Structures are given as C-alpha cells and as structure tokens.
Amino acid sequence: MTDTAIEAAALGKRFGWRQKGWALRDCTLRLPVGRVCAVVGPNGAGKSTLLAHAAGLLAPTEGGISVLGTTPSAARERMAYVAQDKPLYPQLTVAETLRMGAELNPRRWDAAVAERIVEEGGLDFGSKIRSLSGGQRTRVALALALGKRPELLLLDEPMADLDPLARHQLMGTLLADSAEHGTTVVMSSHVVAELEGSCDHLFLLGGGRVRLAGPLDALIAAHTLVTGPTGDLAPHTVVESRTTGRQITALIRPEGRIAAGWQTAEPSLEELVLAHLRAPGAPALTLTDEGDADNSRGGNGGDDDGETNGTRTHGASV
C-alpha cells in the first residue's frame, strides 16, 4: 500500500500546438492519502486539467502523474471522477444510471450508498436524467461516484449547481464518507468560501502553475497578515502589500522575527488565496507534512514516514 494519493512530477499539458497553449506547466505536487484537498484557482488556472490527468482522461505533454501508487489508468477502478458539467446519459432514468454504475464497476459497487444519496435529494428513480435540474443531476453524478466506493474521489467544481442546503448536506455526506472509509477527496473550486472548514489540504493553481501546495494549517501558519506604518518589510517575503494612506497592509511569509510596531494576524483561507491571486508574481510555496518549506517549486515528493504534527516551525515567531 502506498500513502500517496496523487503525485505529479513536472506535469505539463499543452492543448494544440501553439506555444502559448499550456494549460498546466511544471506542476509538481504530492497529496497524501486520507486528505480532503481543495484545488483552488481562477478560471483557466489548470484545475480541471490537473484533475483530468489524475483521472486518466488526458495524457501529459510532459512530466508524469501517478495515482494511488500506480498509473492513472491502472488505478481507474479505485478512483471516481465527477466532471465539471456532470455528464450523464440524458435518455436514461436515475435507476438505469445507477444500474450502469453497478454494471461498469462490478467488483466495487455499493448500491446502498448510491441509492441513499439519491433518496436524500428526494429524487424519483423512474425520472429521466434529462428532466432533472442541474443540482439534481449533480446529486446523481455524486451518487454514481460514491457508489463506486473509490479510494480517491476527484470532483471538479462539485457544488456549483447546488443550492446552499443541498451543498451543505452533500458536503457533509462526502466528509463523513471520507472520514469513515479514509477516502481521499480532491475537489476543485473557484469559490473559496465553500471549501473553508471542510478541507485540510490546499493546492492553489494560477496560470497553469502551482502557487501554493501543502497542508492547509501549515500554509496558513507560514503566512502572516501585517498592518503598520509604511516601511520596509525585509527580510520577509512579501506576497502582496497594499497601502492605504500611511498604513500598509501586507501578507508576508515571515523570515525571522517581525519587528515591533507591526500588528500581526493569522490570515484566513480566503485572504491567503486572494492575496496570491492578486499577486501573480509572488514566489510559489510548497509545504509537505514533515514541515520543511521549499520555496522552489520542486516539493519534496518522498515518503513522509515521519508525519508529525502537520505544522511547521519555519519562521513562525510572532
């Protein structure tokens, strides 16, 4: 057994032959099993491309990706994938769609799980997929994915079509399932708020490259929001700074002690993500579970045999 759910090494994908057509470039990251990971980024950041590679739907242009310790196509049976537009056969009924799941996954199918998710949404098993609303379709797609009893669940913008109640409820189902079976969940979103509180790992992509990667609490701990009079923030790495009058507000990665006179605060997930999105030039940061920070993109991809406290000590003197 491996303890790595997804490991990408310099993964790159170019669509077409145009030099500018890179959807994903030089993407190196690692996700341990059992995590609930958010893949965040603006539209066109490469989130869907990364998930489609993990699902074995695309062949990389360069680099490679391994899933559950093997190639994506060899791990096909052990993972489930829900695409962004939740494709289902419109001419089938809900019951026929679930039967398809059973027939195409004969060794893994758990009918009870799938049926429960459909029933929780009050869906009629006899209704055709084409008569369902977008949110109901999402529910059927998730039922199909969870019914497969995957070890790795890849969800591309899973909650976009759902009303707040259904979103809350389905997220609860997902997290409970993940906790109960140790399922690794990877979900992409450009709505950061819907991920806060449910994820413990983060990949932030921008412009086809990895901007932030690592355990969520470690990433947050590696950053500090500082406010103070205009001044020099060296030697800290400044991700983004904004000046209002004589005040400067900045998100920094502290390198050593922060001088007195600065007000410090721990950034929220949203602040962390937005600051990086507003500052595309900020250096990338990849953290692993051992707590070693790596400012170059090549995150340490080795086995993390010493998973300790999940946080890091690097420069966190506040």
Binding site for another protein (CB under 8 A): 52, 55-60, 71-74, 76-77, 79-81, 83, 85, 87-89, 91-92, 96, 100-108, 144, 148
Angle at 187 between CA 120 and CA 307, to 5 degrees: 115
In the complex, least distance from residue 105 CB atom to another protein, rounded to whole angstroms? 5
In the complex, least distance from residue 16 CB atom to another protein, rounded to whole angstroms? 13
For residue 190 the two structure tokens come to 């450009």
For residue 157 the two structure tokens come to 């913008």
At a CB cut-off of 8 Å and minimum separation 6, what does 157 contact? 48, 84, 187, 188, 189, 190
Q: With respect to another protein, which residue has the nearer C-beta, 72 or 158?
A: 72
Distance of alpha carbon 111 from alpha carbon 231, whole angstroms: 62
Q: With respect to another protein, which residue has the nearer C-beta, 105 or 237?
A: 105
Q: With respect to another protein, which residue has the nearer C-beta, 108 or 116?
A: 108
Q: With respect to another protein, which residue has the nearer C-beta, 76 or 190?
A: 76
Distance of alpha carbon 17 from alpha carbon 55, whole angstroms: 23
Q: With respect to another protein, which residue has the nearer C-beta, 87 or 182?
A: 87
In the complex, least distance from residue 186 CB atom to another protein, rounded to whole angstroms? 13
Distance of alpha carbon 259 from alpha carbon 262, whole angstroms: 7
Angle at 205 between CA 200 and CA 207, to 5 degrees: 175
In the complex, least distance from residue 262 CB atom to another protein, rounded to whole angstroms? 49
At a CB cut-off of 8 Å and minimum separation 6, what does 278 contact? 240
In the complex, least distance from residue 63 CB atom to another protein, rounded to whole angstroms? 12
The amino acid that residue 160 corresponds to is A
In the complex, least distance from residue 33 CB atom to another protein, rounded to whole angstroms? 19
DSSP, collapsed to helix, strand or coil, labels residue 104 as: helix
In the complex, least distance from residue 212 CB atom to another protein, rounded to whole angstroms? 27
Distances (CA, A) of 8 to 85, 122, 153: 24, 39, 17
Q: With respect to another protein, which residue has the nearer C-beta, 110 or 304?
A: 110
Q: With respect to another protein, which residue has the nearer C-beta, 187 or 272?
A: 187
The amino acid that residue 133 corresponds to is S
Q: Please answer whether residues 267 and 224 qualify as being in contact, where contact means their C-beta atoms are separated by less than 8 angstroms.
A: yes
